Amino acid sequence: MDSVESSDQRRATVSQREQWMVQDQVFQIYDIFANIPHKTRTLMLELQRDNHIEYLTRGLKQLSSSFVVLDANRPWLCYWILHSIALLGESIDYELENNVIDFLKHCQDPNGGYGGGPGQMPHLATTYAAVNSLITLGGRRALSSINRGKLYAFLRGMKDPSGAFRMHDAGEIDVRACYTAISVASILNILDDELIKGVGNYILSCQTYEGGIAGEPGSEAHASQRSMDLIIRYTFCGLAAMILINEANRLDLAGLLDWVVFRQGVECGFQGRTNKLVDGCYSFWQGGVFALLKGLHSVDGEHVALSDAEEGDSATDGTSEGEDGNSLETDETCHIKQGVGDGEMAPLFHSVALQQYIILCSQEQEGGFRDKPGKARDYYHTCYCLSGLSVCQYSQSKDEHSPPLPRAVLGPYSNLLEPVHPLYNVVLKQYQEAHEFFSSQSTS
């Protein structure tokens, strides 16, 4: 047996070895959790709110010199931190809030849009981040600082004759550009037929044979990929943009659903694309897709629901009851329930298992969240792990006004976060304030 295993190891690819290593790290955490006293398990499942707030607030005030590589992403840093704080139900003090508003004003280009920092060229990605930051702050001073007339002109300038958008002047055309442009225009109440024209055709051309959505025609379906200056989330972006322009029914929704369902792996978290490693940030980029599909009510005419298995089903799906009535995994596989029968409430992903990965494998006890065990915490993963956690917690709720049942929240009910608007990824009450504000304002 040993010689066979050694032979298999020798033939393994680099990707296989990396996958096995991650699985070993994750399963060790789950094994430790399963074999410690009840009181300690309860502590391990607790969201370390105070430590997260301290970590986030410190970063908003001062960053180390190592962050110079993110100089073109400074509005993103504002958004990741502010959104995380809002999800935790907290806010920043008046002085710090004004400092953020003033900083983002200096990032706003005189001709519209926001750059990655003062004096930098306007870019759709950082425009999205800046607008979401200001909406998250809320209040008249923050919201009125956005020059919607000039921003609309910037969006029109980024519109390509193909119908898609460029990220910046002479920049790349992709699904991410389409989403950021449409999202900003929608939330600011400046979306019109000129901006919408041709967007649906472009996104439709990016859906692949797998069912997911690529960044551009002919590329691989992706949920998300990060590089030094780009934040890319193709499948989420494509679906969200199509919903915002009321053309989601043009997509192969059944294929998209099939693709995203199988991105939840044995570690209980999500991968971004086929044969890639689990990553905490995909908790939102993939989990958020389910929230969007739930809002569509049906896929190919069949009912879709995102609730977990009803109580009493755990014996049949490989889980057992844990603390606070939560269903925890007892084997090495996250059992993803699938299928949409007539009138059935079919859970499309295992939300409690995903919460398990986020809290036990991505959460840093000292504050912040990480990609996976062995990685360092950062603001990006903190934002999207918390966003994904919120999506999980509210996935069984019938509507935005219904609080989750205790069994939908892994760990103590004090872990409950604020609900997000899944199309924009801003906290729901901040979205509602912005919607009312911009609905009553002219664009001049």
Which of the residues are catalytic? 222, 273, 276, 279, 281-282, 371, 378, 381
Residue 307 structure tokens: 């609730």
The torsion angles phi and psi of 66, rounded to 5 degrees, stand at: -65, -20
The string of DSSP letters for 17-70 reads HHHHHHHHHHHHHHHHHHTS-HHHHHHHTS--HHHHHHHHHHHHH---GGGGGG
Distance (Å, rounded) from C-alpha 88 to C-alpha 243?
Answer: 27
Find all residues with CB under 8 Å of 316, minimum gap 6, and list them: none
In this structure, the chain runs to a length of 444
Q: Residues 115, 127: contact at Cβ < 8 Å?
A: no
Q: Residues 292, 243: contact at Cβ < 8 Å?
A: yes
Return the ∠ at Cα 346 (arms to 421 and 404), rounded to 5°: 45
Quick one: DSSP state of residue 403? P
Q: Residues 31, 329: contact at Cβ < 8 Å?
A: no
